[in-house]
Chain A
Amino acid sequence: MKRKMTKAEKTEALWGWFFIAPTMLGLLILNFYPIVNTVWQSFCKTGDFGRGNTFVGLQNYIDVLSGSEFWVSLFNTFKYAVIEVPFSVCIALVLAVFLNRKMAGRSIYRTIYFLPMVAAPAAVAMVWKWLYNQQYGLLNHLFGSSTGWISDPKIAWISIGIIGVWSILGYNMVLMIGGLQEIPRDYHEAADIDGASPIRQFFSITVPLLSPTIFFIVQTRIIGALQQFDLIYMVMDTSNPALSSVETVVPVFYRYAFTYGNKGYGATFVILLLLIILFLTVLLQKAEKKFVFYN
C-alpha cells in the first residue's frame, strides 16, 4: 500500500518542484517544444507566417535525400570535423602536458591559449575573415601571395578548419589540464625510478590515465563539429565561389528555413543531422568500453 505523504514531506516536495521549475520551464519552452515542433514541421509543407502547414508525410525526406545538396553538405560537415576534432584534441593534449609542469609564466600561457574561448565566435570569425582576405589580408601581405584562402575551393575548407581548431584549442586544453591533475604523481615517480623516458611515460601512463577526459572531449567535439554553423555563416558570403565545397548541414538548414522561408524542408535537414549524431553517439558509447581506461 502506498504511504500517504506527511504534510512536511508534501511541503518539501512542493518546494523541490518550485526550485527546479525555472530550469524545467526553460528546458520545456526553449528546448523541448522546439524539438517536437521541428520534428513535426519536417513532415509538413509549411505555409507563410507559420500558418497553413499541410502534412505531407515523408515527402520532405524523399526530396532531401534524393537531392545532392544534403549529401554534399554532409560531406563538407565531415571534412570540417576531420580537421577540427583530431587537431584540436592532439594539440591541446601536448599543450596541456607542457602547461601542467612547473614553469615560469604558466598561468599567462594558459590564459593566452584559453582567450579565444572567451571571445564571441562571431567576432573570432570576422577577425579571421580579414586575416584571410585575398586583397587586403594580413596573411597574403606577410607571404606576398594572392591566395584566396577562403574563396579557393581547394583550400577554403582547410582555412575554415584552422579557425575551428584555433577557437576550441584552449577549451580542450583546460579540460585536459583538469584531467592531468587527477593523475596521482606516484605513477610518474615510479616510472622515473624505473628509468622510463618522458615520451614513454607520456604514452604509457599519461594517455591511458587521461583517456576518460580525452574521450569526453572527442565525443563532445564530434557533436559540436557536426553542428558547425557560425564560422561558415560569418566567413563565407553567399557569392563566395568556395561556398559549395565548405557549406555544412546547419547553414544549409538555415538558408532553407530562414532565407527561403521553407521551414519544413529546412527542418528535414536538421532532423537527419540529429539522427546521424545520435547514431554516432551510440557508436562512441560502445567504443568507450573498449578504449577508455578507468582507474
Chain B
Amino acid sequence: MPDVFWMHSNVAQKYMENDLLLKLNDYISQSEDIDLANYYEGITGIYQLGDAQYAVPKDHDTVALCYNKAIFDQYQVAYPDETWTWEDFYEAAKAITDAGQGSTYGYSIDVGNNQDGWWNIVYDYGGYVISEDHKTSGMDDPKTLEAMEFLGKLIADTMPAQSVISENGSGTLFTSGVTAMTTQGSWNINTFYTSDNSENFAWSVLPYYDQNGNGTADPGERCTIYNGLGWAAAAGTDAPDAAWSLIEWFCKEENQVKQADLGVTMAGFKGASDSYPSAFEGMDISAFLDMESEGTLVVRPCSKYTTNWETMMGETLVGAWNDVSTMKDACTKIAAEMNAQLAQE
C-alpha cells in the first residue's frame, strides 16, 4: 500500500472498518491549515467512522444537463433553463423524439447512469436509494417508485432502445448527435469540451420536481448527487507525519483553489471552486456551480460494499429498461436483494 492515496465513497467504509487507514483526528486538531468545517459536510462524512476521521476531502462533483443547441433549433424546441421541471424536460425530449423519427432522440441514460442520471430524479421526488444509516434500501419507497414510474415514461417515450444505449453509452450517443440531451457529472466535462461538436453544446442546471406544486424549486426539489475523493494515508505507513503533511498541503485552501483554477476538478474546500468555470474557455459550465447555489446537494449513496448492490441494481434494471411496465417489480426486487445484502455488511 502507498503512504498517501485517494479514497472513494464506494470502498471507504470497507477500508475504514478493516483499520487500513490512518486516523487523522489528532493531526487535524493540531493543524493550522485544515479545519473540517471548511469542507463539504457530505464528503467529510463519507470518510468518518464513529468519531474517527480517515480522509480530508480532495474534491467534489455535481451533475448538470448538457444539450445540443443544433438539435433544439432544428426541431424548434426552447432550450432548457432553470425554470424547467422534469415534466417540461419530458415534453421537450418527447417532442424531439417524435420529430426525430427514429434517428434523433430527446435523452438517453443507461441503467448504470445512476449518479449522473436517475438517482437525481429519485431524490427530487423525495425518494431515496439508501437510508442514512446505510442499513435499508429506499428502492421500494413510494416516492422512489413514483420517480421510477416517471423514469419509465422517459425511457419509453424519449430514449433509443436500451441495447443501443448499452452498446454505445449515453455520452457517445449525445456527442454523435443521436440524442439532444444528456445529464453528466462534472468529472466528465472535458469529454464534451473537447468533442468535435462542442460549439453546439451548452449546459443548464438539472430540472426539478415540484413536490409542493408552488411553481418554484424549493430545497430538496432540485437535487444533485455529489461525491468527492478524499486524501487518505495508510495505517501502516512508516512516516505518518510526512504523510499527513502531504495531505495537509493538498487540502489547504491555497492549493484547493489552485486545483480548481487549473481546471483539474472542483474543490473539496467550500467556496474554492469559483474560478473553475474559467478553465473552460469558450464553454459556459457554470451550471455545475449553480446546481449548488440553486439546488440541493445529496451525498452519493454508499455503504460498506456499495459496488455489490450498485451492480445488482443495474443488472436488475436492464429488464425494466426494456419493458417499463416491469419497473415497479424490478424496484421491489432490488429493495429486497439490497436489504439482504445490507443486513450482511
Contact = CB atoms under 8 A, between A and B. Distances in A.
Interface string A249-267: 0000001000111000000
Contacts of B167: 129, 133-135, 148, 150-151, 237, 240
Contact of B164 (A48, A135, A238, A260): A135
B311 A238 contact: yes
Contacts of A51: 18
A238 B178 contact: no
A256 B305 CA distance: 13
B305 A239 contact: no
Contacts of B112: 238-239
A288 interface: no
Contacts of A34: none
Contacts of A237: 166-167
B168 A48 contact: no
B311 A260 contact: yes
A151 B307 contact: no
A125 B253 CA distance: 46
A239 to B, nearest CB: 4
B263 interface: no
B168 A133 contact: yes
A259 B160 CA distance: 29
B18 A49 contact: yes
Which of B14, B163, B164, B308 has the most chain A CB atoms closer than 10 A to its own CB?
A: B163
Given A49-B18, A49-B20, A151-B167, A241 B305 contact: no
B162 interface: yes
A291 interface: no
A116 to B, nearest CB: 23
A150 B167 CA distance: 9
B318 A241 contact: yes
Interface residues of B, number: 29
A261 B315 CA distance: 17
B136 interface: no
Given A239-B318, A259-B311, A134 B164 contact: yes
Contact of A135 (B162, B178, B321): B178
B314 interface: yes
A136 interface: yes
B129 interface: no
Rank and list the top 9 A-B pairs by shortest CB-CB distance, nearest first: A151-B163, A239-B166, A148-B163, A239-B111, A260-B308, A240-B166, A48-B18, A239-B110, A135-B164
11 contacts: A49-B18, A49-B20, A133-B167, A133-B168, A134-B167, A136-B168, A151-B166, A239-B166, A239-B318, A240-B167, A243-B318
Given A240-B166, A241-B322, 15 more contacts: A48-B14, A49-B20, A133-B168, A134-B161, A148-B167, A152-B163, A239-B111, A239-B112, A239-B166, A241-B162, A241-B163, A241-B318, A255-B311, A260-B307, A261-B305
